[in-house]
C-alpha cells in the first residue's frame, strides 16, 4: 500500500482515499492481474494507483482537469502511468464509452449513483464487481437499493478508523470520518 504522504496533492482536489480504506477496497474488490478496472471520480488517484499495481488496465475518469493532472503526476511518480488511461469526462458519459470491465470503482457520484450503477452493470463481466465508497449516509442506501434491483450479491462494511498520535505524555487516538464500502457482485 502506498502511504498517504507519498501522494502529490492539489489544493482544489480532495486528497487520496486514506491508506487503511484503500486496503479494505483492494481486499473487497479481489482485483487480479487480468482485470480491467474503471475508477470513476479518480480525484488524486489514491485508488487508481492501487488498482494499477494489481490489475491489467485502469480507466481513470474525472470531470475536474486538476484532478486528472494530479492523478497523472502521482502515476508518473510511482511509475504506474503505462497501466492507466486517463479520461477527462463526466462519469456517466465515460462509462457509456467503455466497452467492458471487471471492476467498477465509484468514489463520488455527483448525484447520478443509481444511473452509474445501472450503466456499469450492463458492461460488467460475469462475477464482476461494483464498489461504492462514501462518507454520506444516503449514498450506501442508494447503492444497496439499486444493486438489489439488479439482483447483485451485496456486501456492506462501515468502518471508523482512529489513528494514534504518539506524544510525550502518551498516545492520542484521533478519529476519522466513518466510511461505508458497498460491494455488489454480478451473478
Ligand atoms: C473524493 S474525490 C475521489 C478521491 C479518489 N478516490 C482518491 O482516492 O484520490 C471525488 C472526485 O470525484 C469527481 N467527480 C464528482 N462528480 C463527478 C462526475 N459526475 N463525473 C466525474 N467526476 C466526478 C470530483 O471532481 C473529485 O475529484
SS3 string of 87-100? EECCHHHHHHHCCC
pLDDT digits (tens, 9 = 90+) for 45-59: 999 999 999 999 999
- Name the band, by pLDDT with cuts 50, 70 and 90, for residue 108: confident
In 3-state terms, what secondary structure has residue 86? strand
pLDDT over 90 (residue 113) = yes
Determine the residue of 15, 61, 63, 112 to mutate for testing ligand 1's pocket, defined as the one with the most ligand atoms within 8 A of the Cβ atom: 63
Q: Report the candidate in 136, 146, 72, 76 with the shortest Cα–Cα distance to residue 104.
A: 146
For ligand 1, what atom is nearest to the CA of residue 111?
A: 19
Which CATH number is 98's domain given? 3.40.50.150
Which residues constitute the domain of residue 165?
Answer: 4-185
* Residue keyed to cell 487480479: 32
ipTM: 0.98
Amino acid at each position: 500500500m502506498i502511504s498517504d504522504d507519498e501522494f502529490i496533492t492539489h489544493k482544489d482536489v480532495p486528497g487520496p482515499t486514506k491508506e487503511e480504506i484503500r486496503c479494505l477496497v483492494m481486499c473487497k474488490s479481489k482485483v487480479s492481474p487480468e482485470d480491467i478496472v474503471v475508477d470513476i471520480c479518480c480525484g488524486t488517484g489514491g485508488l487508481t494507483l492501487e488498482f494499477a499495481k494489481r490489475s491489467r488496465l485502469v480507466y481513470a475518469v474525472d470531470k475536474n482537469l486538476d484532478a486528472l493532472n494530479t492523478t497523472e503526476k502521482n502515476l508518473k511518480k510511482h511509475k504506474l502511468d503505462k497501466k492507466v488511461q486517463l479520461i477527462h469526462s463526466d462519469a456517466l458519459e465515460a462509462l457509456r464509452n467503455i466497452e467492458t470491465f471487471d471492476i467498477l470503482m465509484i468514489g463520488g457520484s455527483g448525484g447520478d449513483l443509481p444511473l452509474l450503477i445501472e450503466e456499469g452493470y450492463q458492461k460488467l463481466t460475469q462475477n464482476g464487481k461494483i464498489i461504492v465508497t462514501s462518507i454520506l449516509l444516503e449514498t450506501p442506501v442508494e447503492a444497496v437499493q439499486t444493486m438489489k434491483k439488479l439482483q447483485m450479491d451485496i456486501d456492506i462494511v462501515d468502518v471508523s478508523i482512529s489513528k494514534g498520535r504518539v506524544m510525550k505524555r502518551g498516545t492520542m487516538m484521533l478519529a476519522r470520518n466513518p466510511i461505508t464500502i458497498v460491494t455488489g457482485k454480478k451473478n
